[in-house]
Structure 1
Amino acid sequence: MTTFTPKGYQSQLLETLETYFQACHAQPSPSLAFSATTERLWGRSLSYHPLSGFPPDMPYFCLRVPTGGGKTWLAAKSVALVNRDLLRCEHSVILWLVPSKPIREQTLRALRNRRHPYYTALRETGPIAVMDLDEAKSLTRSTLDTATTVIVATRQAFQVEDEECRKVYQSSGALMHHFDNLSPVQRDALLTDDTGPERTPPCSLANVLRLRRPFVIVDEAHNSRTELAFDMLARLRPSGVMELTATPDLERTPSNVLHSVSAAELKAEEMIKLPVVLQTEPDWQQCLADAIGRREELHRLADDEHRTGAAYLRPIVLIQSEPRRAGVETLDFDRVRQELITNHRIPPEAILVATGEERGLEKVESEYRLGLADPACPVRFIITQKALAEGWDCPFAYILVSMASLSSATAVEQLLGRVLRQPEASHRHARELNQSYAFVVSRHFAETAGTLRDRLVAGAGFERREVSDFVTAAKPDQGRLDLAGHAGRVVMQPVSTPLTEKPDLKSVPKAIRDKVSWDGKRNTLTINAPLAEDETELLKASVESLSAAAAIAVAAETSRTSALAIFQTPAESGECFRIPQLALRVRAADGSEQLRLFDDPEVLEYSWNLSLHDAAPTADDIAALGAALQVSEGGEIDVDNASGKMVSRFLPDLQRDLGLVYQPEHWDAIRLATWLCRNLPEQSLTHAAKRSYVAAWLSDLLERDGFNLARANLQKFLIRERIEARIRNLRKTAIGQAFQHTLFGDDVESRVSVSDQDPFEFHNQAYAPSRDYDPRTSPHGSFEFRKHFYGRIGDFDSKEEFECACWLDIQAQKGRILFWVRNLVRREGSAFFLQKADGRFYPDFLCRLPGSEDEPGPTLAVEYKGADRWKASEDDRLIGGLWADLSEGRCRFVMVKDKRWDWIDPLLS
């Protein structure tokens, strides 16, 4: 496998990373760059938390990606960005830390496998060398000087307290050549041997790393939050620390979350199977039988799709058995296996046991070329006890069965992560194959659903506000008891029943007492919250007469059925919200006309000839190169005159240290121009056009006073950045002209259409706000929104925007609007946009207006703009107006300012 197409959220995350690295050099410090980047991208400036024991402005940040989001691929892809945009060097040392030896071996295999997407992503860096810690203990200086060196190790390997790992800090003859001809600055930075009288720096791997200033990638970073772990990292003088985790620490030692991916985004991008459909059953044999039945249904659906061309799929059940205990009968793996074979006639070869006693997984991997995914593999059930092997992936896992009532948090989190992943990261035609399933031996559905949601938050990295939608009941009668899953949308009418005797409420658990009340004057018992069947039995035991017990049973049944009214959002009730999108009319090869979604201005036909533009550095380019040289030579001012604050020297010192060890080759102008061309990712240009422009630009630079080949070679990364920015701006100008002609020129209808052929759809579970509106804490105000399409509402950017939403919801309550959505920004798959020449316009609100039985009503897009931003929003008004004008009445658009709701009013009729 050599090709891999990144998902939208993955591309967006990498764009965030590139933006932050570039801001680290543009801003006074990486900490200010972090705040500026989060403000620009997410509309909210986040505080930067430095790590104790590290330089306060060392780039330290976290990428939050839930289970199934492809963290390892993202880490491999980011290495090229680290070199190019942060370190600004051709080669570097990447210290890739993982939580365990199995994960280390898995990561090493993938990064070394030339057919694996991880290797392909890493190879974009240029020459690479991937090694484990033992190999690194004898690495050569030439390897470091000619390739980006990735050292994959466990975090424990660098802890000096571990006797086996002390070799990392001890002298080695194989590493002595790394310490020849060191400058005083370099020698002063080395660790010393405290046992010797002269405190001599050992020729150790740790000191090699200190010289090379490694960039550290911490995988599963939530497992490494101890003071000891941070002390270990500080000892290596890293150039930066990037954490990847689904569950970052936000309290004790807060991670700086630069970019957060939501589970809804993964769902929208077909990476995970949601919702988790939960069913509880107190009888373990019946629970297992129900799971077997569901697997057979899924298998039939998969076979039907396979016959029509879909990829092969064999749904697998993961069963969490109970551990064996001496003298106690438990539902251990052997008993579960016998139940499958004896009572359900499952062939023994279809059952795999993966525990400390039996290692069936290893046998399958060795016998079948594709492991469990091999069509010849018969395995349909996997029984485990605690946790499966770390890093092991089961592409066909669909159903989790827990015999232990979700008591083992670690095992449940791990197994749940297995069943969430979507095989081949591609949706199936059958809705049932896009969901996960959990069968749990339990009497309490609501409690079990709550525990499962907790596991999704704590282990899979879901947001608390998401999980209520992502755990649903397989049986409607159980779903009615899931009040937490319908929080804020459940109304219960109290159920009162007269009794012939006073119940002994002191004899029932407090949880049940809190749900009922007794009126002694009227001899009436009132149930104020739904009672489950087992709770009903306990309450019935509080009375002696059969008639009173029967009355309690009837009232309790009513409390969990007809007395409950659960409000469903339009999305939950199955409403469709599809919006026509802008499309270009294009001519196909056979001469026919086709419509193509307009989501990228690069598809426009535009005149783009780089040779027509002046190939010479501008005054700004010369100033930037001069300022960078001054910084590298130590000429930076230490105090900002405007603010009086100290200016960070972390990056200048880092550039100095890297310059001491990564000596640039003495290239001539031709080789330097070749390198610049190779590192300019501009796909719209031919190599000849790019080379001609770069050669002319470089020639002009070298003729200026103070510039020579040595300096140009030293500043080649900054030169590349300046040339790239110039070419990008020239191309944007050309695209802007083509955009203006295509969309706003004469006879636009012949080139552009508003099409229902490929509409944008607000999917039921693909709404992923980066911030939620919470009426309890919102600074804008509190309002009970009743007509929003989803249960969640993306937060508002201003009080005026909030008031606009309130006005729309009031109109919806009057019947003038069916429902509306707070549209999101930069959320691929869950936000509607209109493409512009230089970006995308995301209207604040999308409303569905009333229609007829035969045809849905029109869509109204509403954008609120503050008066201070009105003039700058002219292009938004133009593209919104064009979308409405070309829609033949199906779409309407209005931009509002100064609370002029009367501008919206005529469009609702």
Structure 2
Amino acid sequence: MSSFTPKTYQQQVLDSVQAYFKACHELPSPSLAFAATTERLWGRGSAYHPLQGFPAEMPYFCLRVPTGGGKTWLAAKSVALVNTHLLRTEHSVILWLVPSKPIREQTIKALQDRNHPYHAALREAGPITVLDLEAAKGLTRATLDTSTAVIVATRQAFQVEEEECRKVYQSSGALMHHFDNLSPRQRDGLLTEGSGAERTTPYSLANVLRLRRPFVVVDEAHNSRTDLAFDMLARLRPSGVLELTATPDLERTPSNVLHSVSAAELKAEEMIKLPVRLETEPNWQQCLADAIGQREALQHLADAERRAGAAYLRPLVLIQSEPRRAGIETLDFERVRNELITNHGIPASEIVLATGEERGLEQIDADYKLGLSDPACPVKFVITQKALAEGWDCPFAYILVSMAALSSATAVEQLLGRVLRQPGASLRSARALNQSYAFVVSRNFAETAGALRDRLVAGAGFERREVAEFVTAAKAEQARLDLGGHAGRVIVRPIAITLSEKPDLKRVPKAVRDKVSWDGKLNTLTLSAPLSEDEAEALQASVSSESAVAAIMQAAEESRSTAIEFFQTPAELGLRLRVPALALRTGAEKNGELALFDDPEVLEYPWDLSPYDAAPTADDLQALGAALKVSEGGEIDIDAGGHVVTRFLPELQRDLGLVYQPENWDAVRIATWLCRNLPEPSLTHASKQAFVAAWLANLLRQGGFTLARANLQKFLIRNLLEARIRDLRQQAVARAFQQTLFGADAAARVAVSDEYAFEFHAQAYAPSRDYDGRFGHFDFRRHYYGRMGDFDSAEEFECACQLDIWAQQGRIQFWVRNLVRREGCSFFLQKADGRFYPDFLCQLPGRTDQPGAILAVEYKGADRWNGAEDDRLIGGLWANLSQGRCRFVMVKDKRWDWVEAQL
């Protein structure tokens, strides 16, 4: 089975899902759990939007992951979390909805393939059965009782006009046994046909699903927002809905975004190739030639790296041709193919056509084991007309060529997504192989760059604020015209020229009129924005004298060059920001090797469960008692209006309890199951088994607890045991942490090392929220990046303003708003029970041959000061061990003089 190591951001997504599921049981409702979880994760709770037509309290949430981020793998990994932490059941039914039949076939194939990472992720939920709707119509009760069934279908399959949908609601003798021995309450919850005496309950797949309360996974959820689609799903009584998309709907039927991954995180974790290097060229043949030259340059680098031991790579060019039109000459696929063969000597075998009529990619997949990625495959150019086959994925795609000026939005979004993926999800040595390339037939660079950024936002799921730096000009002269790429950091000086005649601006296109103004009293024409060569020509046509034409031409040239002044951030200027990190000596020797201290579990700590009191606490017994009431009759509340209301999750637990009939297990079997489902690698199996057996024995001595009840509640018992073991382990870790970092020989065990310095990379800054001016406006001139993460309070904002003032005075070289939990762009200091992320990091002035010290600044409100003692301790230790290279200060009550004393 292929091994797959999750990226840190992927693990953080899964941690967020688990935290939400646990909060759903700890708090009165999934909506409150959502607000509480998002506040804990991101510092600001998000509003919860129920899904119309579904129970208001059904868990419904969305994971926002840009193109190339591994959405399908995350969904597969989430299934085990659904079973364990939300449904608290050993087996479940997962209804996995995809946007189209080709995607359905690919998804089923990958999920069923025992050597695929998707299948390995699914298997963490235990025995798995993956099938399509057709196979699901023959599902046996035994299969559902002994495995988690993942039914993969298109969303359209549940729409009435689809034949597949009608089959879902039709009675089938093969499903009859699912309805044996149902209670009256269960029968009342099923769909019926007809009315009165003719009313019947069909033995349909829809009714099997209603009984089993499926959890729904919706892939590419932005494509499925119709009322009809939601109504059809609601009829199946889902236990919850998880959406995955790069571009969630935030307006019409808003998705509840639990965790949002940014493109900068994907870049930092080597998942995608950024920036996109854009070049525009009005001559299509020259544009194609430039792209061919770029491909050859990339191939040369790839070959050199392979000789040094790197993986095989053959960069591909994806060419979007124009569609054929009767009687009109277009740059269609035949014309582009002939240009490649005739004028550039490209062998026909190196070109594949992927259009409506030509299915060249399918043939490549049939001829070569690894498709386009196969070293034996000669293809270097793929010509498409509209969009490539859905789900087509080849990380070798590096260069997008658009013969039409980005006119087909859908096609460009698809092709952009294809060239963004990083081969092997790991950086190459050559910087050029870690970037994507776009060549577009166009005369207007700024307009093209803007359209490309729009496509990254609308199609690939990038955030609007980050796309500016992720599309860059390949040519310096075009970079000057890209004002959108330097949003907020560019000054354009207006140019006023005196003309001997009044220009006829009515003859000028509106786009040009918006950039100029005429003053009849002074006879001056003012250019307020850069004019491209085409726009200058259009403006020259508004005058007749040669002197006026010459003056406009000169002014237009100046508007594109000397009139533009760019303000570059320290990151854009190439200045480095490296912050020495805490490192730990491994091994018993005092001169052992250093390793980054990013996990307290690496500390040597005595850890054994056996000495501890293995008995349920009063809180544990209360939780088990409350859950039993739910399973026996549901939990019923009375609302303010005197109406009876039932809570969603308790009702769900009762339904699942009725469906999944517990077997007669003895104490040994229950204890064995609990041990198997309590992953704790730091313990020996014997000590874990002894602890679990003792805990269970103590539980069974309590009044009213039987083996049957323990079996019924084994998932809740498992969670209580996990929490207890985690708490005991954290106590042991905390003792070891204190001894190692603050004991008598701490200096021999811990160091602050340049070897493990954290570096802030130029394009790896990804705030979950940018500062939007809510605490006031300030012209920050010395922040390391053009973007800035949000502040938690007005005092924190004022602290940032003060830092920037000192930086403008030269007392600080530059500074950065440090982020929390953003992998690749956050500096942290490890504590026993988590990580400390200082609010600000300042690079102090140094000498030519040596950088200055790093100052970490943390602002704490007076109400949180007492609770931040461990932050002050670890920050002080980091500064003390750094031999003067690092300084730390924690501030409260706007005591800026405490910071100033460190400068």
- 1:573-622: per-residue Cα shift (whole Å, max 9, x none)? 11111110000112399x96211000000000111011111111112211
Aligned mates of 1:731, 1:272 — CA distance in 2: 38
Deviation at 1:10, TM superposition (A): 0.4
1:698 maps onto 2:693 in alignment: no
Q: Which residue pairs with 1:280 in the alignment?
A: 280
Aligned mates of 2:168, 2:634 — CA distance in 1: 36
Aligned mates of 2:587, 2:674 — CA distance in 1: 37
User: Structure 2 residue aligned with 1:687, among 685, 688, 691?
Assistant: 685
1:856 maps onto 2:851 in alignment: yes
Deviation at 1:469, TM superposition (A): 1.1
Structure 1: tracts of 5 or more residues without a match: none
- 1:437-463: per-residue Cα shift (whole Å, max 9, x none)? 110011111111111111111110111
Aligned mates of 1:700, 1:46 — CA distance in 2: 42
1:315-330 to structure 2, matched below 5 A, reads 315-330=315-330
DSSP 3-state at the match of 1:201: coil
How many aligned positions are there?
903
Deviation at 1:639, TM superposition (A): 3.9
Deviation at 1:548, TM superposition (A): 2.1
1:178 and 1:636, CA in 2 relative to 1: closer, same or farther beyond 3 A?
A: closer
DSSP 3-state at the match of 2:637: coil
Bigger mean CA offset, 173-182 vs 780-789:
780-789
**What is the identity, as a one-letter code, of the residue corresponding to 2:765?**
Y
Deviation at 1:161, TM superposition (A): 2.6
- 1:699-739: per-residue Cα shift (whole Å, max 9, x none)? 11112211110010011011111111111011000000100
DSSP 3-state at the match of 1:405: coil
Deviation at 1:522, TM superposition (A): 3.9
DSSP 3-state at the match of 1:472: strand
Question: Contact conserved, 1:588 with 1:594, CA < 8 A, in 2?
Answer: no
- 1:792-846: per-residue Cα shift (whole Å, max 9, x none)? 1111101111111111111111111111111111111111000000000000001
1:898 maps onto 2:893 in alignment: yes
Question: Contact conserved, 2:634 with 2:651, CA < 8 A, in 1?
Answer: no
Q: Which residue pairs with 1:827 in the alignment?
A: 822
Deviation at 1:906, TM superposition (A): 1.2
**What is the identity, as a one-letter code, of the residue corresponding to 2:483?**
L
1:167-566 to structure 2, matched below 5 A, reads 167-194=167-194, 197-566=197-566
Q: Which residue pairs with 1:756 in the alignment?
A: 754
Aligned mates of 1:295, 1:906 — CA distance in 2: 55
**What is the identity, as a one-letter code, of the residue corresponding to 1:3?**
S
**What is the identity, as a one-letter code, of the residue corresponding to 1:599?**
D
Deviation at 1:160, TM superposition (A): 2.2
Q: Which residue pairs with 2:654 in the alignment?
A: 656
Aligned mates of 1:782, 1:122 — CA distance in 2: 49
1:647 and 1:784, CA in 2 relative to 1: closer, same or farther beyond 3 A?
A: farther
TM-score, normalised on structure 1? 0.98
Aligned mates of 2:291, 2:765 — CA distance in 1: 30
DSSP 3-state at the match of 1:95: strand
DSSP 3-state at the match of 2:318: strand
Bigger mean CA offset, 643-652 vs 757-766:
643-652
**What is the identity, as a one-letter code, of the residue corresponding to 2:222?**
H
**What is the identity, as a one-letter code, of the residue corresponding to 2:474?**
A
Aligned mates of 2:636, 2:523 — CA distance in 1: 84
1:614 maps onto 2:613 in alignment: yes
Q: Which residue pairs with 2:741 in the alignment?
A: 743
Aligned mates of 1:592, 1:381 — CA distance in 2: 55
Q: Which residue pairs with 1:801 in the alignment?
A: 796
Bigger mean CA offset, 544-553 vs 37-46:
544-553
TM-score, normalised on structure 2? 0.98
**What is the identity, as a one-letter code, of the residue corresponding to 1:901?**
W
- 1:101-148: per-residue Cα shift (whole Å, max 9, x none)? 000000001001011000000000000100011100011000000000
**What is the identity, as a one-letter code, of the residue corresponding to 1:897?**
K
1:627-646 to structure 2, matched below 5 A, reads 627-634=626-633, 636=635, 638-639=637-638
Aligned mates of 1:296, 1:550 — CA distance in 2: 42
Aligned mates of 1:476, 1:244 — CA distance in 2: 39
Deviation at 1:633, TM superposition (A): 2.1
User: Structure 1 residue aligned with 2:863, among 858, 865, 868?
Assistant: 868
DSSP 3-state at the match of 2:668: helix
**What is the identity, as a one-letter code, of the residue corresponding to 1:563?**
A
1:118-137 to structure 2, matched below 5 A, reads 118-137=118-137
- 1:453-476: per-residue Cα shift (whole Å, max 9, x none)? 111111101111111111111111
DSSP 3-state at the match of 1:252: coil
- 1:235-263: per-residue Cα shift (whole Å, max 9, x none)? 10000011000111110001111111111
Question: Contact conserved, 1:28 with 1:648, CA < 8 A, in 2?
Answer: no
1:83-98 to structure 2, matched below 5 A, reads 83-98=83-98
Q: Which residue pairs with 1:665 in the alignment?
A: 663
Q: Which residue pairs with 2:705 in the alignment?
A: 707
Aligned mates of 1:20, 1:217 — CA distance in 2: 16
CA RMSD, 1 decimal: 1.5
Question: Contact conserved, 1:28 with 1:647, CA < 8 A, in 2?
Answer: no
Q: Which residue pairs with 2:579 in the alignment?
A: 579
Identity %: 77
1:195 and 1:313, CA in 2 relative to 1: closer, same or farther beyond 3 A?
A: farther
Question: Contact conserved, 1:319 with 1:382, CA < 8 A, in 2?
Answer: yes
DSSP 3-state at the match of 2:375: coil
Bigger mean CA offset, 594-603 vs 536-545:
536-545
Aligned mates of 1:668, 1:51 — CA distance in 2: 42
Deviation at 1:162, TM superposition (A): 2.0
1:877 maps onto 2:852 in alignment: no
Aligned mates of 2:856, 2:768 — CA distance in 1: 21
Aligned mates of 2:366, 2:128 — CA distance in 1: 30
Bigger mean CA offset, 215-224 vs 519-528:
519-528
1:812 maps onto 2:812 in alignment: no
Aligned mates of 2:634, 2:189 — CA distance in 1: 21
Question: Contact conserved, 1:762 with 1:830, CA < 8 A, in 2?
Answer: yes
Question: Contact conserved, 1:222 with 1:245, CA < 8 A, in 2?
Answer: yes
Aligned mates of 2:587, 2:317 — CA distance in 1: 49
**What is the identity, as a one-letter code, of the residue corresponding to 2:839?**
D
Q: Which residue pairs with 2:840 in the alignment?
A: 845
Deviation at 1:632, TM superposition (A): 2.1
Bigger mean CA offset, 501-510 vs 756-765:
501-510
Question: Contact conserved, 2:414 with 2:459, CA < 8 A, in 1?
Answer: yes
DSSP 3-state at the match of 1:369: coil
DSSP 3-state at the match of 2:624: helix
Deviation at 1:546, TM superposition (A): 2.3
DSSP 3-state at the match of 2:724: helix
Deviation at 1:76, TM superposition (A): 0.2
Aligned mates of 1:531, 1:489 — CA distance in 2: 19
Question: Contact conserved, 1:473 with 1:479, CA < 8 A, in 2?
Answer: yes
Question: Contact conserved, 2:636 with 2:647, CA < 8 A, in 1?
Answer: no
Question: Contact conserved, 2:634 with 2:650, CA < 8 A, in 1?
Answer: no
Q: Which residue pairs with 1:33 in the alignment?
A: 33
Q: Which residue pairs with 1:604 in the alignment?
A: 603
Structure 2: tracts of 5 or more residues without a match: none
**After the TM superposition, which segments of 4 or more aligned residues of structure 1 sit over 6 Å from their partners?**
643-647
Deviation at 1:497, TM superposition (A): 2.6
DSSP 3-state at the match of 1:655: helix
- 1:834-884: per-residue Cα shift (whole Å, max 9, x none)? 000000000000111100100111111000001111010000000000000
Question: Contact conserved, 1:601 with 1:836, CA < 8 A, in 2?
Answer: yes
Q: Which residue pairs with 1:727 in the alignment?
A: 725
Aligned mates of 1:273, 1:796 — CA distance in 2: 30
Aligned mates of 2:510, 2:385 — CA distance in 1: 34
Bigger mean CA offset, 507-516 vs 812-821:
507-516
Aligned mates of 2:465, 2:493 — CA distance in 1: 26
- 1:333-383: per-residue Cα shift (whole Å, max 9, x none)? 000000000001111111011111111111111111111111111110000
Question: Contact conserved, 2:635 with 2:651, CA < 8 A, in 1?
Answer: no
Deviation at 1:627, TM superposition (A): 1.5
Aligned mates of 2:370, 2:32 — CA distance in 1: 48
1:340 and 1:213, CA in 2 relative to 1: closer, same or farther beyond 3 A?
A: same
DSSP 3-state at the match of 2:190: coil
**What is the identity, as a one-letter code, of the residue corresponding to 1:892?**
R
Question: Contact conserved, 1:191 with 1:201, CA < 8 A, in 2?
Answer: yes
Aligned mates of 1:792, 1:90 — CA distance in 2: 46
